[in-house]
Amino acid sequence: MTNLSNKLLIALALTGIAAAITIGLLMLFGPDWSLYAPASCTATRCFCELPRTGDLILQPSNSWSAFGYVFAGFLMITLARTRDWASAFPPLAAQVFAISAITVGIGSVLLHGTLTLWGQFFDVLGMYLVSGFLLVSALAKWLRITDRRAALYYVLLCAVLVAVLIALPEVRRWLYGVVLIAAIILELTFARPLRLQVKTRYYFYGIIAKAVAFGIWNLDQHGKVCAPESLLQGHAIWHLLGASALWFTFLYYRSEAASEPE
């Protein structure tokens, strides 16, 4: 068995453990999710999938597909912890990015499984952790900010985003979009030219995956392509494409050479 195969199996096993812990957590608080404040989306529609009222997981397709983020995150961690890591992307930063991806997945399960306001909080939290990382990473490379100071800026940015999420939850999607688009513009315009031998195609693969995912998200959200009782859900595809986008972004960061070839 190859080294990569071992890492894939490890990431898969860790994803299974994370799924078991998440289900255990849901069992502690559910399955009567009507006891909790509902997510903001329940005022309009929480995507196409019909909630299975009374079940532990209200939207199974949208929930289980979110573990794609968790798998991608654990695979990043297993790769970042190898001894042969040869990249300008610090292993610690790679693992922080991986944890943000895992948080996206677990948070999404908590939202779609419960359709509660607290589930929504953790769902958006993961999105902010990812977009904040992308923005700070671009700024740090462009302005040559030290790793320690970049870490501080990342914590402060995430704290501000979480504060806004608590105070003004209705702007959560717009704020995420603004931070994400700003991060992409800064990365491609200012940071990318400073990254040695970086494979820019991976970044564009991620953008394409995210763009297609967003198109599917809109069709699902507005009921344009919708089969409420089907296990094949557009929002589930959004999750899998979103996880792929984060994976491509990780490959992009990892491809940056630590130094110029001799």
pLDDT, one tens digit per residue, over 21-68 is: 999 999 999 999 999 999 988 777 789 999 999 999 999 999 999 999
Q: Distance between CA 251 and CA 262 in Å, rounded?
A: 23
For helices 91-114 and 117-143, the axis angle rounded to 10 degrees is 160
Per-residue pLDDT tens for 93-116?
A: 999 999 999 999 999 999 999 999
Beta-bridge partners for 116: 38
**Res. 186: pLDDT tops 50:** yes
Q: Which amino acid is at 18?
A: A
In a domain, 38, yes or no: no
**Cα(161)–Cα(176) distance, integer angstroms:** 9
What CATH number has the domain bearing residue 244? 1.20.1070
Q: Confirm or deny that 235 is annotated as ligand binding.
A: yes
Quote the DSSP letter at residue 192: G
Q: What is the pTM of this model?
A: 0.95
Domain membership of residue 39 (yes or no) is no
What confidence tier does 258 reach under pLDDT thresholds 50, 70, 90?
A: confident
Per-residue pLDDT band for 241 (boundaries 50, 70, 90) equals: very high
Confidence of residue 260 (pLDDT cuts 50, 70, 90): low
Q: Are 72 and 246 in contact (CB under 8 A)?
A: yes
Tell me how far apart the alpha carbons of residues 154 and 261 are, in angstroms, rounded to a whole number: 31
Closest CA to 236 of 71, 49, 101: 49
Could you give the CA distance from residue 82 to residue 44 in angstroms, rounded to a whole number? Answer: 46
**pLDDT confidence band for 262 (50 / 70 / 90):** very low
Any domain includes 187: yes
Residue with more model confidence, 36 or 5: 36
Judge whether 180 lies within some domain: yes
Average pLDDT score, the chain: 94
Share above pLDDT 70 across residues of the chain, in percent, rounded to a whole number: 98
Range of the domain at 93: 3-28+56-254
Would residue 82 count as lying in a domain? yes
- Contact between 87 and 254 under an 8 Å Cβ cutoff? The reply is yes
The residue count for the chain: 262
Residue 256's Cβ-side half-sphere holds a number of Cα atoms within 13 Å equal to 19
Judge whether 224 lies within some domain: yes
Residue 122 has pLDDT above 70, yes or no: yes
pLDDT above 90 covers what percent of the chain? 87
Over residues 168-197, mean pLDDT:
95
Concatenating the DSSP letter of every residue in 33-99 gives: GGGSPBPGGGGS-S-SSPP-TTSSSSSHHHHHTTHHHHHHHHHHHHHHTSTT--SSS-HHHHHHHHH
Provide the number of structural domains found in the chain: 1
pLDDT digits (tens, 9 = 90+) for 138-165: 999 999 999 999 999 999 999 999 999 9
Is 164 contained in some domain?
Answer: yes
pLDDT at 118 over 80: yes
Q: What is the mean pLDDT of residues 208-228?
A: 92
Partnered with residue 38 across adjacent β-strands are: 116
Select from 251, 253, 247 the least CA-distant residue to 70: 247
- The answer to whether position 43 is within a domain reads no
